[in-house]
Chains A and B, each alone.
Chain A
Amino acid sequence: MKSKIFILILFFSAQSIFAQNVQWSDNSARTLEKSRKEIGIFSPFTMGLTESLELSVHPIWFFMTPHIHIKKYWTEISSFQISSLHRLSYETPILKMLSKSGTGGVLPPTREIPQFIKLNNALLIGKSYKEQYITLQLGVDFAYGFGNSTMPDIEYFLVYPRTYALNHLYTPYVALDVTGNLYKKIDYNYHTDNFFLTGENAGFITEQAFQLIWRKSEKFNVRIGAIYTIGDFPYGKGNKILPTIDCLWAF
């Protein structure tokens, strides 16, 4: 509780100057400028294909879970920017890698894992407001397994809501993202994801994340923060706070 109050205090004490000179990849409705490329330690490789189309692929994760992410900016209506996000991934290779005996066995070795395809689509509505940029995201994860599945849920924080659709077909979610400048080259980001779990284990999970972003230059930034999650898991109510950290390079 004390940590949440502290985070809120930081949020409301933001300085008035919003001095982001270049658009970095983020969870907002904005896309990268054309030809700008970015990569992070944990963040995917992201490239601005055009002024309104952004492509992301994680260079390591791709070989375990082939995927592609696209963010498309469509139009502006009454100062609201409208974009959409589309993610397609083939989940089975990583799940089979993690289904093993001994250390690293996230899933039991004896469970049947079908060919899983996962599709995420989201509508992003963004707007600048008092030197901050606010984005509302309305999305849904779909997943379909071709074949028989006896795969159990992976009930760990952050993973569970994002893999829930594999066993339960779909997971709707609502997200809010706020970015602003705190002081000179330090920006802040607040992001919340809220998952509505359907079916047999119906429930709700919310994640609240806060990050400080140090923009050393237009080519390098460091992001450090924390994420707090609370909600309904197969075992009942669960909550956790975890650190987040990343470094991003642009070229």
Chain B
Amino acid sequence: MKNKLLKLMLFSSLIAMVSCDPFNTEIEKNSPEETVVKYTAGNIKTPVDKDTLKVVSWNIKFGGGRIDFFFDCYGDKVLMSKDSVIYNMNGVVAEINHLDPDIIFLQEADINSKRSAYVDQVQWILDNTNLNYGVYASQWQADYVPSDGIGKVNSGNAILSKYPLDDAKRIALSLIGDQSAVVQYFYLRRNLLEASVTIKDKKIYLLGTHASAYATDDTKKKQLQEIKNETVNLVKNKSIFILGGDFNTIPPNSKKYENFDDDKCAEGSDFASLGFKDELNDMQPFYDDYQAAISQEEYDAENSAFFSFTSDKNGFWNRKLDYLFTNGNFVKFSGLVHQDKAHGGAETMPLSDHAPLSVLYVLP
């Protein structure tokens, strides 16, 4: 009798255990190391020996090119066909080959999403460029998102490199606090992806991130603080790092910070732009302590030359959301936002709602 009751209790416990995350959205239930996916190119290409590294940061909009998706309010697209994804990814790959980075920080890379026909975009880039190794950390994962027909999604940050990557881990950033429990369960879970690369016996930590875009509370501020804290930890340990990503906020002294001409979503909608009036100093701590690919002096002299985002494919880049920082050394004035043929040598507007940002890093 006792054995039978024990079996019944054990069985009931099993039921309780398996029911906790039915849509597999809770990325943080695994360890920071376990949540990172590691990649290798199908064909390893030997990098050329050099004194500087070309470092790029680019939000590739999940291979969506300039298709008008519902969240920008220019259209109502949700799902792409495989042909569309491959066409767009070929454009992304062509630009990456044109840039020829040694290291690239990617944001909004899909690896197994219904909206991008389940194409693994990280593997696609590795197999079609000179990059050899990659690490990926999801910021949006669900067996099925029952909203807008999105379905299965796995999208996040990636760091790709010509050199082997080690010490990879995913550092969870704060979730948006003023969401309901259900929305928060299915929503994005932002992260700071960390890895290290050793070149000429010098270890450099690489930090890739993508801060919150639609938070209406102070979540983004918290996330920026968490990112800063990790860089401070690395500095305390006398480590060199390069931090890159889409911070979804504008630099200090930006001349325009609200009422952008590409704001098409109605006020009050989930995707409405709130402007950056209350965030003008949020990036200052990074500028104070680290070298930026685009210095404050350069930006202050001419904001528009460094704008890296617009949701309007028929407009022009109208704000700077993308950054690269280091506590090492960038080659001064080597930072460039690849806005068009005149600035970077290629038309990047059709490829994503973000332009790539590049800089040269001096190897010690």
Chain A residues engaging chain B, CB cutoff 8 angstroms: 3, 6-7, 10, 13, 98-99, 101-111, 152, 154-157, 182-183, 186, 212, 224-226, 234-236, 238, 240-243, 245
Please report the C-alpha to C-alpha distance between residue A224 and residue B151 in the assembled complex, in whole angstroms: 28
How many residue pairs at the A-B interface have CB separations less than 8 Å? 89
Please report the C-alpha to C-alpha distance between residue A150 and residue B250 in the assembled complex, in whole angstroms: 40
Q: Are A105 and B146 in contact (CB under 8 A)?
A: yes
Please report the C-alpha to C-alpha distance between residue A104 and residue B183 in the assembled complex, in whole angstroms: 11
Q: Please tell me which one of the listed residues A13, A110, A154, A245 contacts residue B78 in the complex, with CB atoms under 8 A apart.
A: A110
15 A-B pairs within 8 Å (CB atoms) are namely A6-B10, A10-B11, A98-B146, A103-B147, A103-B182, A104-B147, A105-B148, A109-B149, A110-B78, A111-B149, A154-B151, A156-B151, A182-B4, A183-B4, A236-B118
| Chain B residues whose C-beta falls within 8 Å of the C-beta of A99 in the assembled complex | 149
Chain B's nearest CB lies how many Å from the CB of A191? 16
Contact code string B127-169 (vs A, CB < 8 Å = 1, else 0) = 0000000000000000110111111100000000000000000
Q: Are B10 and A224 in contact (CB under 8 A)?
A: no
Since A102-B147, A226-B18 are in contact, a sample of 19 more A-B pairs with Cβ atoms closer than 8 Å, ordered by chain A residue number, is: A3-B14, A101-B148, A104-B147, A105-B149, A155-B144, A156-B143, A156-B151, A156-B152, A182-B4, A224-B15, A225-B15, A226-B14, A234-B114, A234-B118, A235-B114, A236-B118, A240-B143, A241-B18, A242-B18
Please report the C-alpha to C-alpha distance between residue A156 and residue B79 in the assembled complex, in whole angstroms: 16
Majority secondary structure of chain B interface residues (helix, strand, loop or mixed):
mixed
B8 within 8 A of A: yes
B70 within 8 A of A: yes
| Chain B residues whose C-beta falls within 8 Å of the C-beta of A183 in the assembled complex | 4
| Chain A residues whose C-beta falls within 8 Å of the C-beta of B70 in the assembled complex | 101
B304 within 8 A of A: no
Chain B contributes a number of interface residues (CB within 8 A of A) equal to 33
Contact code string B101-114 (vs A, CB < 8 Å = 1, else 0) = 00000000000101
8 A Cβ contacts from B3-40 to A: 4, 7-8, 10-12, 14-16, 18-19, 22, 24
| Chain A residues whose C-beta falls within 8 Å of the C-beta of B14 in the assembled complex | 3, 6, 226
Chain B residues engaging chain A, CB cutoff 8 angstroms: 4, 7-8, 10-12, 14-16, 18-19, 22, 24, 70, 76-79, 112, 114, 118, 143-144, 146-152, 182-183, 270
Q: Please tell me which one of the listed residues A212, A235, A241 contacts residue B11 in the complex, with CB atoms under 8 A apart.
A: A212
Q: Are B144 and A3 in contact (CB under 8 A)?
A: no
| Chain B residues whose C-beta falls within 8 Å of the C-beta of A236 in the assembled complex | 112, 118
Please report the C-alpha to C-alpha distance between residue A71 and residue B12 in the assembled complex, in whole angstroms: 31
Please report the C-alpha to C-alpha distance between residue A152 and residue B149 in the assembled complex, in whole angstroms: 9
| Chain B residues whose C-beta falls within 8 Å of the C-beta of A111 in the assembled complex | 149
Q: Are B22 and A242 in contact (CB under 8 A)?
A: yes
Identity of the chain A residue whose Cβ is nearest the Cβ of B78 in the assembled complex: A108
Q: Are A157 and B19 in contact (CB under 8 A)?
A: no
Q: Are A156 and B144 in contact (CB under 8 A)?
A: yes
Chain A's nearest CB lies how many Å from the CB of B114? 7
